[in-house]
Amino acid sequence: MKQIILTGDRPTGRLHVGHYVGSLKERVRLQNSGRYDEIYIMIADAQALTDNAEHPEKVRQNIMQVALDYLACGLDPAKSTLFIQSMVPQLTELTFYYMNLVTVSRVQRNPTVKAEIAMRNFEASIPVGFFCYPISQAADITAFCATAVPVGEDQMPMLEQCKEIVHKFNSVYGETLTDPQIILPQNASCQRLPGIDGKAKMSKSLGNCIYLSDEPEEIRKKVMSMFTDPNHLRVEDPGTVEGNPVFIYLDAFCRPEYFEEFLPEYSGLEELKDHYRRGGLGDVKVKKFLNRVIQAELEPIRERRKSWEQRLPEVYEILREGSAAAEKKAAKTLARVRHAMRIDYFENDNLLK
Ligand code: ATP
Ligand code: MG
């Protein structure tokens, strides 16, 4: 069986370091592993419109921003197909058929949907399209016959829902759809990176992000303003490392060689954590170190982004060609779906049979 990846991001803002450690870095690693036959990376504009119906301009503007972030991180159009969701209309048709295989109460139980409804104050006025987005995500995944979906932990309930739809479809209409596997980052701190404000998730919608395109001074300010252990008031106080965003970021970003380069008095992260727990290590010192680590990680990405910013017509062509290729692939799946459902009436006079 072909090994195929499908994953993507909503163009609701530029991408941030949560996306990077949670999904982008993993995608680039998988892309370069040579283990995958096809890789599809989707800019999910139709999904972004489900909670931004009144702000199509915002979604439109961010399509190029997300594409630039992709290229900056090392997604390579020669190896990965980058495309725009709404340019593949087959996805909408698949969604419509899959909706019949899912109950309202099942979507209501989806914990990510629940959390997002609360975050957007949608309780009394949920747009139907927003409510159905897990189903449209199942259409995205299955349209490309994805075997692997590299995403952050917040996407686990979506993958479960997708698998249920696959099983239901296959049992009702016959073996047609591919069952996908989720690929989470191995490093637990990367699966759901908290915001700089200490909130459970760094998210474009919460405005608590360090963006991949932030300038060095902006990054420094954000790191120095980060939430830490609220009980660690004086340097001598013992501090807590668990759940402390500064240490979670170090877990997510720090490589052993950064100690030698920026903080040689410690042998590594464990020694730094022990000192913080004992007391006598100030937040400012840890944050300064974290700043240098993040700067070192983001500098090459920012530089590559700037070079792509000079070549926007090329980026446009990458998306145009990628969307055409994606449509071809999705059309093949849709034809198989229609055949399985026996609604391919005009193929070989099927309606007469
Ligand atoms: P929005 O607030 O518009 O939903 P978002 O910041 O949650 O935006 P998405 O486009 O929904 O970003 O998510 C894209 C991908 O990035 C998904 O695979 C998701 O799991 C991953 N991701 C997003 N935020 C984080 C995070 N803080 N930590 C780890 N992974 C994340
Ligand atoms: Mg999200």
What CATH number is given to the structural domain containing 269? 1.10.240.10
Residues 183 and 34 in one domain: yes
Beta bridge partners of 39: 5
**How far apart (Å, rounded) are the C-alpha atoms in residues 67 and 28?**
14
For ligand 1, atom 13, the nearest C-alpha belongs to 9
For the chain, which residues score pLDDT lower than 50? Answer: none
> Phi first, then psi: what are they for 350, rounded to 5°?
-55, -30
For ligand 1, atom 23, the nearest C-alpha belongs to 19
Is position 296 within any domain?
Answer: yes
Residue 121: the pLDDT is 84
Residue 150: the pLDDT is 94
For ligand 1, atom 2, the nearest C-alpha belongs to 205
For residue 31, how far is its CA from the centre of ligand 2 (angstroms)?
23
Residues 155 and 17 in one domain: yes
Is position 201 within any domain?
Answer: no
Q: What is the pLDDT of residues 246-296, one digit of tens each?
A: 999 999 999 999 999 999 999 999 999 999 999 999 999 999 999 999 999
Is position 325 within any domain?
Answer: yes
Query: What's the domain count of the chain?
Result: 2
**How far apart (Å, rounded) are the C-alpha atoms in residues 27 and 33?**
10
- CATH, residue 91: 3.40.50.620
How far is CA 6 from each of CA 26, 101, 269, 307, rounded to the nearest angstrom? 13, 22, 34, 26
Mutate to test the pocket of ligand 1, among 49, 62, 203 (most ligand atoms within 8 A of CB): 203
With b meaning 16 or more CB within 10 Å and e meaning fewer, what string describes 157-177? bbbebbbebbeebeeebeebb
Domain of residue 250: give its range: 216-307
For residue 60, how far is its CA from the centre of ligand 2 (angstroms)?
17
Residues 172 and 278 in one domain: no
- According to DSSP, residue 83 is labeled E
Residue 200: the pLDDT is 84
Residue 122: the pLDDT is 83
Question: Are the CB atoms for 212 and 20 separated by under 8 Å?
Answer: yes
Is position 200 within any domain?
Answer: no
Residue 235: the pLDDT is 92
For residue 146, which of 4, 8, 34 has the smallest C-alpha distance?
4
**How far apart (Å, rounded) are the C-alpha atoms in residues 19 and 81?**
19
Last residue of a domain, one of 307, 325, 340: 307
Residues 297 and 336 in one domain: no
Residues 178 and 115 in one domain: yes
Ligand closest to 206 (CA) is 1
Residue 103: the pLDDT is 96
Residues 135 and 257 in one domain: no
Which residues does ligand 1 sit against, CB inside 6 Å? Answer: 9-10, 12, 18-19, 22-23, 151-152, 154-155, 192-193, 201-205
Is position 74 within any domain?
Answer: yes
Strand order in the sheet with 81-84: 81-84, 38-43, 4-9, 148-150, 181-183
pTM here is 0.95
For ligand 1, atom 19, the nearest C-alpha belongs to 152
Mutate to test the pocket of ligand 1, among 5, 6, 10 (most ligand atoms within 8 A of CB): 10
Is position 265 within any domain?
Answer: yes
How far is CA 121 from each of CA 102, 131, 208, 318, rounded to the nearest angstrom? 24, 13, 18, 37
Residue 205: the pLDDT is 76
Residues 89 and 109 in one domain: yes
Residues 18 and 39 in one domain: yes
For residue 105, how far is its CA from the centre of ligand 2 (angstroms)?
21
**How far apart (Å, rounded) are the C-alpha atoms in residues 30 and 297?**
19
Residues 179 and 244 in one domain: no
